[in-house]
Amino acid sequence: MKTLDNMLSEQLKDKGFRKEYEAIQPEMDVIRAIVDARTSQNLTQKELAERTGINQADISKLENGTRNPSVNLLKRLAEGMGMALRIEFVPKQHI
């Protein structure tokens, strides 16, 4: 039985797939960071919405990737979780 990591590893050997996969990584990293921060505090989307004044449906859209957040929205989410927002540029990894 193939694991997700094994399957992804095989697909990344295809240059076209790798290019598209790498192109969506920044968005996926933001989504993962939001979900991880929220769940690490055992918060539901509804509870986070109450803390931030952001509609729960909008939080859901952010987490499922159908809405791109502004920096101000990310700051509000961070503040609602008692966190600071940090955005950084890092050198590309050449694989």
**1 pLDDT exceeds 80?**
no
**95 pLDDT exceeds 70?**
no
CATH, residue 32: 1.10.260.40
Residue 28 lies in a domain: yes
Q: Specify the pTM.
A: 0.83
Q: How many residues in total does the chain contain?
A: 95
Q: Please state, in angstroms and rounded to a whole number, the distance separating the CA atoms of residues 77 and 31.
A: 12
Range of the domain at 32: 19-80
SS3 content of the chain, % helix, strand, coil (to 5): 60, 0, 40
**48 pLDDT exceeds 80?**
yes
The torsion region of residue 78 among left (phi > 0), alpha (psi -120 to 50) and beta comes to alpha
Residue 26 lies in a domain: yes
Per-residue confidence (pLDDT) for residue 4, from 0 to 100: 86
Per-residue confidence (pLDDT) for residue 93, from 0 to 100: 77
Tokens of 3: 């694991």
How many structural domains comprise the chain?
Answer: 1
Mean pLDDT within 83-93 = 91
**51 pLDDT exceeds 80?**
yes
DSSP, collapsed to helix, strand or coil, labels residue 12 as: coil
Confidence of residue 35 (pLDDT cuts 50, 70, 90): very high
The torsion region of residue 55 among left (phi > 0), alpha (psi -120 to 50) and beta comes to beta
Residue 11 lies in a domain: no
Are 77 and 54 in contact, with CB atoms under 8 Å apart?
Answer: yes
